[in-house]
Amino acid sequence: MQPQPTTTAPGANPVQRSRKSISQHIVEIVSDSGEGAQKAGQSFGAICAKMGNGVWTVEIIPSDIQPPPRTKESTSGIRIRIGSGVITNAGDEADIVIAFNEIAPYSRIEQDAYQPGTKILLESMWATHDDEEVRENYTRAITDFKKLGFDVYEVPMQEECLKLVPDARRGKNMWVLGLLCQLYNRDIEIAADQIRHTFRKKTQNVIDVNLQLLQGGFDWAGQHLDFLYDLPPTLGGIDQVVMNGNEALSLGIIASGIEVCSMYPITPATSTSHHLAECFERAGGLVHQAEDEIAAIGFAIGSSYSGKPAVTITSGPGLALKTEFIGLAVMAEMPLVIINVQRGGPSTGMPTKIEQSDLLAVLYGQPGDTPKIVLAPSTIEECFQFVILARQIAEAFRTPVFILTDSNLATGVQPFARPKPRKEWFAPPVDQSPWPQGLNPYEWDSSNGISKRPIPGQRGGEFTVTGLNHNKEGKVSYLPEVNQRSSTMRSRKLAAFAKTLKPPQVYGEDHGDLLIVGWGSTRGAIEEAVDRARAEGIAVSSVHLRFMSPFEPDLAKLFKNFKKVITAEINYSDPVDDEFIAPEHRRYAQLAWVLRARTLVDIGCFSNVHGQPMRPNSILNAIRSITQPQNA
Amino acid sequence: MYGLKPDPCVLEVPDKYYSTGDYEKGVARWCPGCGDHSVLSAVQKLCQEKQLPPEKTVFVSGIGCSSRFPHYMKTYGFHGLHGRAFPVAEGVKFRRPDLNVFVVTGDGDCLSIGAGHWIHSIRYNMNLTVLLFDNQIYGMTKKQTSPTSPMGTISNTHPHGSVLPPINPIQTTLGVSNVSFVAQTADWLPGHLYATIKAAHEHQGFSFVKIMMRCTKFLPEEAKKMVGDKEHMTLLQHSDGIEVDMATANLFKHTVQHDPADIHQARAYSEDPEMSYLGLYYRDKTAPRYDLYGAHNLGATSEQKLKVLEEEFDKFAV
Ligand SMILES: Cc1ncc(C[n+]2csc(CCOP(=O)(O)OP(=O)(O)O)c2C)c(N)n1
Ligand code: SF4
Ligand SMILES: [Mg+2]
């Protein structure tokens, strides 16, 4: 279909279409599951990225598997944040909401996703529904929304779609995509290409119908909406890919040359293995779905032991089950990559919600002394890169390496520069040459704790791996000096690895009134809050840690340049002013605990367990109340 | 591998010939008379007879007296966690189909803490030789009731006798779908023990061998009784079964013909409360093997991997 100039339908009121220029906006499409809101949102995000705009999308997932329709529990959808420049997080309250029914916005209102001034474009078919209760609900909702200060626009989505297709339920999403393209002045030809791409495996007829729906929504918005925007792109010109953090992890696994992923299904980690299983069929490799998480890591260890490092991927409850094997991997010095996509905890917690509560469990959660290397990607691009890095560290240091991500990264979708994979990223072939004569299986180099590992198949390297303490010959030994030495050698690897790290980059000035320390997926929100606070004249900076064990160097020195240092994290801490809590009993957020112990700096924390991404505005408010307590 | 090729005039000369000593390491620290010693000898003899290259042979075990086994083999070994030998062995075999992988596990290790893995490993049917050292007690931790302790066994956890009927490992194994090899032998019948382990090793699939074991330290009376009790032992014989020499066969008072293809009869024998049957209960050479599924997708080249990465980036490109 060729792009057509928008025409005024007979009887429609032509409106004045002056476009307001904006630098960023947040759109939500909310519906019942199965109505294609997510597909529309992803397509819209891709169109924006293609035009050179910054994008972050995140899916809104129903809390039940089969919730009854038109309930708060059944709300499904997507948030798309678009900007002129790079967008690094899901942002604060939405500007535009497209609602397929009047119930869906309620669940988002509960999560403070909207604010006065938010525009709700509401499907109007419910106004004339056969069921009186539905009609009443609809009217009540409009009153509620207006009371909350939202601007409500009734949009005849169903009616308009029925002009083009017999079943509006399967097409409304593309009509809405057309509406959004008009609203934000998108290039309709790029949008049409996106539809052709999305439906490339479908018949020409399906593509044509969807193109008509796109144009239908586009034209309708042009004729009926009295607010239209312009979002000038400033990016572009580089090849980009757009994916979520779990997909980035799975491509990272392939790019690292890892060939075995052993797992047991658990939200929100599982989707990584779905994508990986499909890719491995072509790239060589296997996803093993084990009988439980203990078996999953045992299998990965067996596979690492006899070949290239393997990966096991899990989330909180699964991490708990893997504990004993993690200890063995440290003790036996087994190269292994362990990915933990954090979710809400403890116990089964909130499987689909966002939390960063496993840091201490990963660092210290195993009985005995278990030094290990822990990485925490802070962007989706880093989810890809850090697997490649982790595999190399695991092999070079003969140790398990953790990657800690979270639901926010797992489900967030962001464009990044298309990687240029190189053969050097892949694990080298398994060494099967004869084992050097006289070399011990744990011939520790005292300067770095590293020793070369014999791999089955290497003649002359025969030895027995054991979780019992052992000497450099691999022989079981409980002698005091042997246990002291082997413990020292396992620990020394961290010291040696730490030497390879550079001090982290400070965002903002390297001194000031306040430093915010973050880790993982909160990076974008923290830096955005810092930008806003600095614009208000507050001397705040941030630093984002990506190596959790060992830390990057010179943190204590950096912290001393600020009057106050706090962490911002999505995990539990006692409030400072809680009447029930004596200062020495206060429980800090997890990174804050570790940093306080390491640096002896009196580091505070801003944290919550709302299960939501941290919002720039909430961090900004925290910054304000710390730096300007009198105004707070 | 050794001996004459089909062309009788050409001798195949191995690049190295292994003697039993090439598989022996250190002095086994089991109690005198412990059944574990005889299994060790039988396995070392099997490795020698089969000329298994030590570097291509891996013994994976859990934790327990029996699980110390790999330390006494001059091959690769993996003495891992209590109950978790199966997953490790599976990971090794999945990644390295070229290795000979043995699993050594105890009755507590396999049937209690590792029971979940045991059931699934039967179903995976990977080419593993599994030796269950069933001494009906926890030896390593000093005489606690094991899942196979006969009802009434006096132990440190049940000073007045254990109160539940034991698990029947053969019956259970025969009940799991995709089971492919189940045999029973006893540590004090070296000929039968050797023949059984050999048949297990030759079977291409998950070969489950339950070895009746003596714990001379904690169940000395029972150990003595078991060895002398010919009344309650029957030899399973069949042309498709496990071949034993005359001397071994003569040790049995009772013998029955049993076709190892007959799973119903196998189950019936496994459930006989009066009699222990030694020999091959069941064998299915056609059961699907998970390690073959694993092997189908190994060894892709860097070029193939790069190609897939580019294809994927095309898919995600904007
Ligand atoms: C997770 C865990 N729990 C408990 C133990 C203690 N433990 C070591 S061996 C063993 C029992 C071994 O019994 P069995 O498997 O029958 O082997 P045996 O010593 O009789 O050969 C126990 C309970 C352990 N090592 N690890
Ligand atoms: S305690 Fe029992 S099983 Fe352990 S070594 Fe001694 S006799 Fe053998
Ligand atoms: Mg035992």
Q: Per residue in B156-170, pLDDT tens?
A: 999 999 999 999 999
A9 in Cβ contact with A223 (< 8 Å): yes
pLDDT at A10 over 50: no
pLDDT at A8 over 70: no
Whether the upstream peptide bond of residue A346 has omega within 30° of 0, thus cis, is yes
Q: Per residue in A66-104, pLDDT tens?
A: 788 888 888 999 999 999 999 999 999 999 999 999 999
Question: Under CATH, which architecture does the B10-316 domain have?
Answer: 3-Layer(aba) Sandwich (3.40)
Q: Which ligand 1 atom is nearest residue B112's CA?
A: 15
B1 vs A317, more confident: A317
Spatial neighbors of B124 by CB under 8 A, at least 6 apart, are B90, B178, B206, B290, B291
B133: Cβ below 6 Å to ligand 2?
A: no
Question: How far off is chain A from B195, nearest CA to CA, in Å?
Answer: 26
B291 in Cβ contact with B180 (< 8 Å): no
**Which three-class secondary structure state does DSSP give residue A585?**
helix
Residues A243, B294: C-beta atoms closer than 8 Å: no
Confidence bin at A14 (pLDDT 50/70/90): very low
Q: Which residue has the tokens 């890919």?
A: A241
Name every chain A residue with its beta carbon within 8 A of the beta carbon of B317. 239-242, 418
Q: Where are the alpha helices (DSSP H) in chain B?
A: 35-50, 85-95, 107-108, 115-124, 169-175, 190-202, 220-228, 246-250, 263-270, 290-295, 302-316
pLDDT at A329 over 70: yes
Strand order in the sheet with A562-569: A506-507, A540-545, A512-519, A562-569, A604-607
Structural domains of chain A sorted by starting position, each given as residue range(s) with its CATH number in brackets: 19-230 (3.40.920.10), 242-425 (3.40.50.970), 431-500 (no CATH), 506-631 (3.40.50.920)
Confidence bin at A18 (pLDDT 50/70/90): confident
pLDDT at B91 over 90: yes
Q: Give residue B225 CA to ligand 2 midpoint distance, Å.
A: 17
Interface test mutation site (partner B, options A279, A306, A425, A476, max chain B beta carbons within 10 A): A306
pLDDT at B21 over 60: yes
Name every chain A residue with its beta carbon within 8 A of the beta carbon of B291. none
pLDDT over 90, % of chain B: 93
For the segment A478-503, the average pLDDT, to the nearest whole number, is: 98
pLDDT at A135 over 70: yes
A332 in Cβ contact with A304 (< 8 Å): no
B10 vs A367, more confident: A367
pLDDT of residue B301: 95
Number of Cβ within 10 Å of residue B247's Cβ equals 8
**Structure token pair of residue A583:** 């200062």
pLDDT of residue B296: 87
pLDDT of residue B12: 67
Q: Per residue in B260-314, pLDDT tens?
A: 999 999 999 999 999 999 999 999 999 999 999 988 898 899 999 999 999 999 9
Q: Per residue in B42-89, pLDDT tens?
A: 999 999 999 999 999 999 999 999 999 999 999 999 999 999 999 999
Cα separation values, A572 from A245, A408, A582, A609, A613, Å = 24, 17, 17, 6, 14
Name every chain B residue with its beta carbon within 8 A of the beta carbon of A311. none
Asked if B94 reaches chain A (Cβ–Cβ under 8 Å), the answer is: yes
pLDDT at A15 over 60: no
Q: Per residue in B125-140, pLDDT tens?
A: 999 999 999 999 999 9
A43 Rama class: left (phi>0) / alpha (psi -120 to 50) / beta:
alpha
pLDDT of residue A3: 38
Confidence bin at B8 (pLDDT 50/70/90): low
Q: Per residue in A206-258, pLDDT tens?
A: 999 999 999 999 999 999 999 999 999 998 778 999 999 999 999 999 999 99
pLDDT over 90, % of chain A: 90
Q: Give residue B179 CA to ligand 3 midpoint distance, Å.
A: 23
Confidence bin at A631 (pLDDT 50/70/90): low
Mean pLDDT taken over chain A? 94
Confidence bin at B1 (pLDDT 50/70/90): very low
Where is average pLDDT lowest: A32-36, A131-135, A386-390, A522-526?
A32-36
pLDDT of residue A236: 79
How far is Cα B249 from Cα B253, in angstroms, rounded to an integer? 9
For the segment B189-198, the average pLDDT, to the nearest whole number, is: 98
Cα separation values, B125 from A4, B95, B173, B194, B285, Å = 62, 15, 12, 22, 10
CA end-to-end span of chain A, whole Å?
Answer: 56
pLDDT of residue A65: 72
**Structure token pair of residue A104:** 């869906």
pLDDT of residue A66: 77
pLDDT of residue A67: 83
pLDDT at A335 over 80: yes
Strand A547-549 vs strand A119-123: parallel, antiparallel, or unpaired?
Answer: unpaired
Q: What is the residue-wise DSSP string for A13-77? A: -----PEEE-SEEEEEEEEETTS-HHHHHHHHHHHHHHTT-EEEEEEE--SSSSPPSSSGGGEEE
B148 in Cβ contact with B107 (< 8 Å): yes
How big is the CA angle at A421 (ends A415 and A424), to the nearest 5 degrees?
145
Residues B53, A280: C-beta atoms closer than 8 Å: no
Interface contacts A/B by beta carbons within 8 Å: 195
User: What is the number of H-type helices and E-type strands within chain A?
Assistant: 20, 23
B292: Cβ below 6 Å to ligand 2?
A: no
